[in-house]
Amino acid sequence: MDYNFIEIEKRWQQWWAAHKTFRAEADGKKPKYYVLDMFPYPSGAGLHVGHPLGYIASDIFSRYKRLKGFNVLHPMGYDAFGLPAEQYAIQTGQHPEKTTHDNVARYRRQLDRIGFSYDWDREFRTCDPDYYKWTQWAFLKMFGSWYDNRLQKARPIEELVAAFGSGGSAAVDAANNDAPVFSADEWKSFSDKEKADILMHYRIAYQGESTVNWCPALGTVLANDEVKDGYSERGGHPVFQKKMTQWQLRVSAYAGRLLDSLDRLDWTDSLKEMQRNWIGKSQGAEMVFRMECDGVAHDVTIFTTRADTVFGVTFMVLAPESEWVEKLTSASQKEAVDAYLEQVKKKTERERIAGKAVTGVFSGSYATNPLTGEKVPVWIAEYVLAGYGTGAIMAVPAHDSRDYAFAKKFDLPIVPLIEGADVSESSFDAKEGVMMNSGFLNGMTVKEAIPAAIDYVESHGLGRRKVNYRLRDAIFSRQRYWGEPFPIYFKDGIATPVPFDKLPLTLPEIDEYKPTEAGEPPLARAKDWTYDGYPLETSTMPGFAGSSAYYLRYMDPHNDKALVSREADEYWRSVDLYVGGTEHATGHLIYSRFWNKFLFDLGYVCEDEPFRKLINQGMIQGRSNFVYRIVNTNTFVSCGLKDRYETTEIHVDINIVRNDRLDIEAFKAWRPEFATAEFILEDGEYICGWAVEKMSKSMYNVVNPDQVCDTYGADTLRLYEMFLGPVEQSKPWDTKGIDGVNRFLKKVWRLFWDRENWLVTDEKPTADELKALHKLIGKEQEDIESFSYNTTVSAFMIALNDLQNCHKRAVLEPLLVLLSPFAPHITEELWHQLGNVDSITYAAFPEYHEEYTVENTVKYPVSFNGKTRFFLDVPADKAPAEVEALVRSHEMTPRYVGAQSIVKVIVVPGRIVNVVLK
């Protein structure tokens, strides 16, 4: 009988579905294990061979854990709200729901062919109202909460209201955005609207004005992680900085906790480092400078990490968007300042970064250095960012390169503060050296001077220690259609939550998906978009809203009373293994952690971190092929000869190229313009050029997993993707080696069947066969636990070489179990042919016995002059003299001895060997 993978794979996929083999249920008797893939956005292009890489790895791990006796939760679903479906809708008028539905169906078909062990009963899409009900619920919980800096946790807003009533704004230390100061009596006298406005400054989900990334081409604002180098990540459109009122999440309140608990996570160091950079903690001080403008004094707070350099301040700088700009612009400078602000506003984010042009304007006011009493000018310049620190800085050109560039351009004084620092050509930014020109700090090193300066400032009431984070609050509204509607309506101008029992607030039907003529979001087109007669919010939530708590929903996906029941949450707790790409490091993985910590604070979940262990699978790149057309002709020249002509490089579909050799007939048929093409060949063949590039439709280098399943089968695909190299590593897709893996599976089949005979016997295995088997068991356990799947596949091949002619049931049965996580279909088939009725999934992972793999030996540590150099395996019954002879004759010994000679060899029987050298 032959290995008919098409038939086998179809049969067992149906069998697993019919028997719900992978259904997970909370079961207190077994230890749980939760394995999760980052769920996909179902794009129109379908899956390519790169997508399943992580899914295969996590599926192998899930199947392995099941064999090890764990109750495994391994779900899958779709991140279905998003921009592509909406843009397609704008172009074609097709409802995004329809597009999404079709794409999901296609993804599902493709996923099913690969034989994943998902519990499909738990599937959901983030655009299902039953699901986004809980996204809206979480939003309302955030709207109804504030962050207590003292307790470092979120609390219900009612408790804040109570505190205001008894002690005014001073009663709490709460995370806020520029909240006003008031007394308890004032609070009581405020109108409802005034109270609501104040509370809005404290809510964890709040509406507030801030400088946002505005993308006119997409007609929406974007979060920081959705902007790359000044362009939108989706579509690559220019982004502008603009002050706007938007919904935001107070992620910044959690910056410290997000940073600290990174240490407890089993993630790669590089990913943790990325998050640390993104959170960007910096320790320094806030200092107050008195500034005077046309005779009026203002106390302006600045942030610095170099309090030690305060004696070298020669000017101050405000960000153009700072609220101080207006108050500190003198009448005489007003015109110049206004012109400058206008000029800054017109620039895109890209131009601000890329230009690096030094620009600025004098405000007309002066500041007093609180330590020296010296007066210095106040400038306005775009190199100072409004969103970080206080939007104002003290400039020390001698020791900060940006201040230095500014001082040079505008001819401001530069005062060096560190002995020996040469500041004639550039600033001296390093935090080292000995202070001078710095009053009481003189003679100290920089490392001593920083805390000394801050201590001085604190004790004289001029400022205080302060930790700043780069992490900003997340802009949470998008001016788009295809997202979760905000369950908020505006009653007399007060943002009011839609009651919980009215959720989900479902997305209304509209006839066009574009913004309105007036520039309002698409939802403004909906008829009667009101609640209780009041207008509803017309923005929708961003893509990350639905993906921030989806791992919790999988624990209890059909619950209509809660996001997740307490019992389900306490059983499944958090994701034990999360597999996905690094591209989510500063987006989804920050937002999810924030979201989870918030729910933890309110007692809705029992773990404060969502993803215990994280593996980042690498990208699979495409291998593109090129043909070379001679300019202005329809003649194509083979790669080796292309330098003799002037040619244009054209991507050619890799499906009509084999081993870099072009199928000329297929090429002529590929596109009408090539039907009459002529060719200049090498050795009778057309050789194509090639390059490794991103796998994409436009480069004609996409390999569809369906094709691989057709030609080789899903088991080969799974095994091959793992064999390509470490899961974490990016690598180009290359089918060169796939035959070797396929050959391996055929050989496995041949252990059971030759052409027509069943070969399996009940003979007793030999010692060598057991040794090969147990070596494999040991290796596989070790490798799977450390995600070295490529070496596990190698171990299978080695074991197979050792077991070539072994048809013994006692060896083959455990072998199938070992192989089943990697190649589930072929093993399931053979497992049943061996007479087993139930799925191999329920088998037990074979136990590893060291005695089969290691001879009965003693391990002697061999040391030279007391330092252990190597271990020698010696049969246990050897006498000391024989051991000594072995050591002396050991092939490595001369190398350890080097130029010295052996004085004597001391052997402690069964324990240790020491070689004394002279």
Q: Which two tokens stand for residue 911?
A: 């324990």
Smallest gap from residue 786 Cβ to RNA (A): 8
Contacts of 780-787 with CB under 8 Å at 24 or more apart are: 780/818, 781/845, 781/848, 784/60, 784/61, 784/64, 784/821, 787/57, 787/61, 787/615, 787/726, 787/727, 787/728
Pick the closer one to RNA by CB: 270 or 516: 270
List, in sequence order, every residue forming a beta bridge with 636; answer none if it has no partner: 629, 679
Q: What burial letters (b/e) apply to 471-500, b meaning 16+ CB within 10 Å?
A: bbbbbbbbbbbbbbbbbbbeeeeebbbbee
Token pair for 80: 């279905």
Which residues neighbour 515 within 8 Å (Cβ) at sequence distance 6 or greater? 219, 479, 521, 522, 524
Q: Smallest distance, Å, CB 717 to RNA?
A: 14
Comparison of 393 and 441: residue with beta carbon closer to RNA: 393
- 658: CB partners within 8 A, 6+ apart: none
Contact (Cβ atoms closer than 8 angstroms) between residue 615 and residue 728: yes
Rank residues 220 and 586 by Cβ distance to RNA and give the closer one: 586
Nearer to RNA, 204 or 279 (CB): 279
Helices in 168-268 by DSSP H: which ranges? 184-189, 192-200, 255-260
Which of residues 167 and 894 has its CB atom nearest to RNA in the complex?
894
Helix 714-723 and helix 738-752, axial crossing angle in degrees, nearest 10: 130
Q: How far is the CB of 456 from RNA (least distance, A)?
A: 17
Closer residue to RNA (CB): 424 or 804: 804
Contact 303, 387 (CB under 8 A): no
Q: CA–CA separation, 344 vs 335, rounded Å? A: 14
Determine the Cα angle at 700 with ends 737 and 238, to 5°: 120
Which residue number, 353 or 675, has a Cβ lying nearer to RNA?
A: 353
Q: How far is the CB of 730 from RNA (least distance, A)?
A: 7
Rg (CA), the chain: 34
With beta carbons less than 8 A apart as the criterion, state whether 319 and 300 touch.
no
Secondary structure tally for the chain: helices H, strands E: 30, 35
> How far is the C-alpha of 222 from the C-alpha of 480, rounded, in Å?
11
Nearest CB to RNA, comparing residues 164 and 303: 303
The residue assigned the tokens 């982004």 is: 239
Q: Report in angstroms how near the CB of residue 497 gets to RNA at its nearest.
A: 32
Q: For residues 305 and 372, which CB has a smaller minimum distance to RNA in the complex? A: 305
Q: Minimum distance between the CB of residue 375 and RNA, rounded to whole angstroms?
A: 20
Q: Choose between 49 and 319: whose C-beta lies nearer to RNA.
A: 319
CB of 639 to RNA, least distance (A): 16
CB of 29 to RNA, least distance (A): 35
Distance CA 395, CA 412 (A): 10
Provide the token pair at 49. 């061979």
Backbone angles phi, psi at 400, to 5 degrees: -145, 125
- Across 509-564, the runs of DSSP E, i.e. the strands, are 530-531, 534-535
**Residue 610 near residue 574, CB atoms below 8 Å:** yes
Shortest distance (Å) from residue 354 CB to RNA: 9
- How far is residue 684's CA from residue 700's CA, in Å, rounded to a whole number? 25
First vs last C-alpha separation in the chain: 69
Residue 644 tokens read as: 């003799």
Q: How far is the CB of 5 from RNA (least distance, A)?
A: 14
Contact by Cβ (8 Å): 255, 281: yes
CB-wise, 301 or 445, nearer to RNA?
301
Q: Based on CB atoms, which residue is closest to RNA, 96 or 284? A: 284
Please state the closest distance from residue 835 (CB atom) to RNA, in A. 27
- Amino acid identity for residue 268 in this structure: T
Q: Return the SS3 of 567.
A: helix
Tokens found for residue 94: 């097709």
In whole angstroms, give the CA distance from residue 379 to residue 400: 16
Which of 305, 836 has the CB closer to RNA? 305
DSSP state letter for 768 = H
Distance in Å, CB of 696 to RNA, minimum? 14
Among residues 210 and 304, whose Cβ is nearest to RNA?
304
The distance of closest approach from Cβ of residue 2 to RNA in the complex, given in angstroms and rounded to an integer, is 10
Cβ atoms of 377 and 362 within 8 Å: the answer is yes
Instruction: CB nearer to RNA: give 359 or 841.
Output: 359
Q: Is the dihedral of CA 877, 880, 882, 884 positive or negative?
A: positive
Least CB distance to RNA at residue 729 (A): 5
Please, which residue, 80 or 446, has the CB nearer to RNA? 446
To the nearest 10 degrees (0 to 180), the angle between helices 96-112 and 83-92 is 130
Q: Nearest distance from residue 784's CB to RNA, in Å? A: 13
Q: By C-beta, is 494 or 897 nearer to RNA?
A: 897
How would you label 371-385 residue by residue, b for 16+ Cβ within 10 Å and e otherwise?
beeeebbbbbbbbbb
Taking alpha carbons only, the member of 95, 62, 184 closest to residue 578 is 62
Which CB atom, from 433 or from 740, has the smaller least distance to RNA? 740
Task: Report the length, in residues, of the chain.
Answer: 918
Residue 582 CB, shortest distance to RNA, in Å, is 6
Q: How far is the CB of 160 from RNA (least distance, A)?
A: 28
Pairing of strands 678-680, 635-637: parallel
- For residue 787, the minimal CB distance to RNA (Å) is 10
Range list of H helices, 280-333: 324-327
Beta carbons within 8 Å of 277's beta carbon, 6+ residues apart: none
